Amino acid sequence: MAKVGGAEEIPDGTNARVGMFSARFDRGPTETLFRGVYQILKEKNYPVLMVDAAASKNFGEMTAAYLGKLEDEKGVLLAVCTPHYAEKTDSRYSSYEELRVAHENGLDILPLRVCDDPWPPKPPSGPEHQYDKMGAGAGLLKLAIGKATVYVDCRGKDANYIAAQIAETLLPGGRRPSGHGKAEASTTVAPEGAASHASPSTAKAASPKDAEAAGFLPSPPTAASTGPEAKGADPGASSSTPQGPIAAALRKGMAGGSKDLAASVADAAATAEPKAQGPGEEAKALVPSASPSPADVKEAEAFWNLGVKGGGERNGQSYSQKACFVKALELNENFALVWRNLGVVGGGTVKGRHYDAKACYRKTLEVDEKYAVAWSDLGFVGGGTVKGWDYDAKACYVKALEVDEKYAGAWNNLGNTGGGTVNGQAYNRKACYVKALEVDEKYAGAWNNLGNTGGGTVKGQAYDAKVVNRGAAALQECILKALELDEKNANYWDSLGDLAGGGTVKGRAYDKKDCFERALELSENHVNENVFWRNLGNAGGGTVRGTHYSPDECKAKAKGK
């Protein structure tokens, strides 16, 4: 893992991925800023593309050529998200069309946030709008970016900083953008905790209960942190057990008979051992700038508990869930569990400083480096820098498993990245999914992923190709297993039809067309809905929610018409 420095130390980008800036060109300050970013990256040999609005009649030709190059080379759309980004206009080469092409073709999208709330941006539309009366621009942004998507916060940042963040994404092995990135058909996967970043034509999103990654936390934690549920409030830590550099001393003190959490924290703060930084750096203790008082610790815990319940009233004032977490951190900035949960709900502003989801997970790990779920969270948003060391997604999942080898979600996610080496042993993609299922046999997403890799053997039961032509049957078995566990997952129904040709679910037989119809009945406003419509059209059309659609009508629906 490479040590990273300041923005002025942007490495050479000769081998980087292609990136295309998509923006509303108006010759204003934002355009000036990002043309500066573009120049910095070009000087560092990054293959970045930016259309010159002054090109007049050649503007459209350049846009089309750049989008073609972006698709051919599996590049990244760099979406400059101003308040009016993706507004529909009379141009066939507008930012709306650029985003639509990237989304429909499964390209990676890196949002560069310039606007304030709402997020994603909500460009102008409505009955009086000449080109967008129904809000198609805002709808596309929700599909292509979404509220839970990690973004580069460019607000108040200079060109060097922004260029460094983009470079981190474009470099080989860099963080994975949060758009709907493309994957080869042979590596179709479903990340734990949110919709897949792989091509929507092949990759299947995780189950609905994994929606916790988009900002929904479960009720106070009780379950083990080894399944897809681990994306919510940390199930591996009690609400009465803060995490951090003083955690070991605190646990020791509490184990010795102390029942007063606040007093235990105060005592432990004075005895905790310092945590060293990365190799080559002076070791420094990661201690609070000002240790919280016992009263503050108790009040922070109360706000955390209120946040886990979704928010509510305290001391005569109403607090949202996010406000509860922010308040808890203002009282006790070394409460790792709360930093992690603030990340799950999209981040927030603590003591005047804004933290996006990734920054929250990094803060969590700076406080408690042994927090397996936070390592997995950081991997899910593409990785990041912890204590001066840069970790890509794979490295984050490996770290999570080094802390907790029984963490099914991290095994599933490591499989999504192609596998890796954990505690000295190498695991390929399939082996990771098998490990996930050995830990949690009811993990529907891992069953679906195992099926997409051809099946395997789980706890002595073979779900793989024992004989010639058994591969398809193995795939079907795994997807059926996923549907038994989560019958309302539209992606699994699409997998059953598209990859296995149908099957019998709970005693009822479904052919290919039935599966696509079922997927569409469950998928209104689903990110992959256009894929389901296309598949139904290819199967000859069908009936969805009481209306029959011909093949051509299905294909038109797939194109958003």
pLDDT tens per residue, range 481-505:
778 888 888 888 888 888 778 888 8
- Residue 527 confidence (pLDDT): 66
Tell me whether residue 342 is exposed, middle or buried, using C-beta atoms within 10 angstroms of its C-beta: 0 to 12, 13 to 18, 19 or more: buried
Q: What confidence tier does 263 reach under pLDDT thresholds 50, 70, 90? A: very low
Cα–Cα distance, 452 to 457 (Å, whole number): 14
- pLDDT (0 to 100) of residue 85: 94
**Same domain (yes/no): 161, 240:** no
DSSP letters spanning 2-27: -B---GGGPPP-TTPPPEEEE----S
Residue at 431 is within a domain: no
Percent of the chain topping pLDDT 90:
39
Residue 175: predicted pLDDT: 59
Residue 420, pLDDT > 80, answer yes
- How confident is residue 102, by pLDDT bands cut at 50, 70 and 90? very high
Same domain, 17 and 140: yes
Q: How many beta carbons lie within 10 A of that of residue 552, not counting itself? A: 10
Domain boundary (114, 149, 170) is at: 170
279, part of any domain: yes
Residues 281 and 164 in one domain: no
Q: Are residues 145 and 276 in the same domain?
A: no
The answer, yes or no, to whether residue 200 has pLDDT greater than 60, is: no
The mean pLDDT value for 244-272 works out to: 38
Residue 436 lies in a domain: no
Q: Is the pLDDT of residue 158 over 60?
A: yes
DSSP H stretches of helix in 156-201: 159-170
Other beta carbons less than 10 A from residue 27's beta carbon = 10
The residue-averaged pLDDT of 237-246 equals: 34
**Measured over all CA atoms, what is the biggest interatomic distance in the chain, rounded to whole angstroms?**
78
pLDDT over threshold 50, residue 468: no
What's the CA gap between 125 and 135, in Å, rounded?
5
Cα separation of 344 and 358, whole Å?
Answer: 9
pLDDT at 262 over 80: no
Q: Is residue 179 part of a domain?
A: no
Instruction: Look at residue 241 and tell me whether its pLDDT is greater than 70.
Output: no
19-46 pLDDT, tens digit per residue, is 999 998 777 788 888 988 998 999 899 9
H helix runs in 153-293, sequence order? 159-170, 247-255, 261-271
* Cα–Cα dist 463/385, whole Å: 39
Domain identity same for 258 and 152: no
Q: What is the pLDDT of residue 462?
A: 78
| 96 pLDDT higher than 60 | yes
Length of the chain: 561
Point out the least confidently predicted range of 105-119, 152-166, 285-299, 412-426. 285-299
For residue 57, pLDDT beyond 90:
no
Q: What is the pLDDT of residue 166?
A: 94
E strand intervals along 315-430: 317-320, 348-350, 353-355, 384-386, 389-391, 419-422, 425-428
Model pLDDT, residue 31 = 86
User: To which residue do tokens 């190059």 refer?
Assistant: 69
What does DSSP assign to residue 292? P
pLDDT for the residue numbered 227: 34
Residue 191 lies in a domain: no
Instruction: Report the chain's C-alpha Rg in angstroms.
Output: 24
Domain shared by 13 and 161, yes or no: yes
The reply to whether 332 falls in a domain is yes
pLDDT at 498: 80
**pLDDT the model gives residue 327:** 95
Unique residue bearing structure tokens 């703060």: 269
Q: How confident is the model at residue 79 (pLDDT cuts 50, 70, 90)?
A: very high
Mean pLDDT of the chain: 75
CA angle 502/194/503 to nearest 5° reads 10
Mean pLDDT check: name the lowest of 255-264, 302-311, 468-477.
255-264
Is 223 within the bounds of a domain? Answer: no
User: Residue 245: how many CA atoms within 13 Å on its side-chain side?
Assistant: 21
On the CB side of 221, CA atoms within 13 Å amount to 25
239 and 165, same domain (yes or no): no
Q: What is the pLDDT of residue 65?
A: 87
How high is the pLDDT of residue 167? 93
CA 278 vs CA 3, 161, 283, 334, 501: distances in Å? 9, 23, 8, 20, 52
Residue 138: what pLDDT? Answer: 93
Residue-number span of the structural domain to which 272 is assigned: 235-370
**169 neighbors 76 (Cβ within 8 angstroms):** yes
| 163 lies in the same domain as 242 | no
The residue among 370, 403, 438 that closes a domain is: 370
Which among 159, 126, 344 has a CA at the least distance from the CA of 233?
Answer: 344
The predicted model scores a pTM of: 0.43
The encoded tokens of residue 221 equal: 């934690």
Selection from 194, 237, 220, 219 nearest residue 413 by Cα:
194
Lowest mean pLDDT across 453-457, 472-476, 509-513: 472-476
Structural domain includes residue 416: no
Query: 518-560, pLDDT tens digit by residue?
Result: 999 887 767 678 888 888 998 999 999 889 999 999 988 888 7
Say if residue 89's pLDDT is above 60.
yes
pLDDT value, residue 369: 93
* Last-in-domain residue among 140, 170, 200: 170
Residues in Cβ contact with 255 at an 8 Å cutoff, skipping those fewer than 6 apart: none
CATH number (domain holding residue 62): 3.40.50.10140
Whole-angstrom distance between the N-terminal and C-terminal Cα of the chain?
A: 46
The verdict on 149 and 254 lying in the same domain is no
At 149 the pLDDT is: 64
Instruction: Please indicate, yes or no, whether residues 39 and 144 belong to a single structural domain of this protein.
Output: yes
* Domain tally, the chain: 3
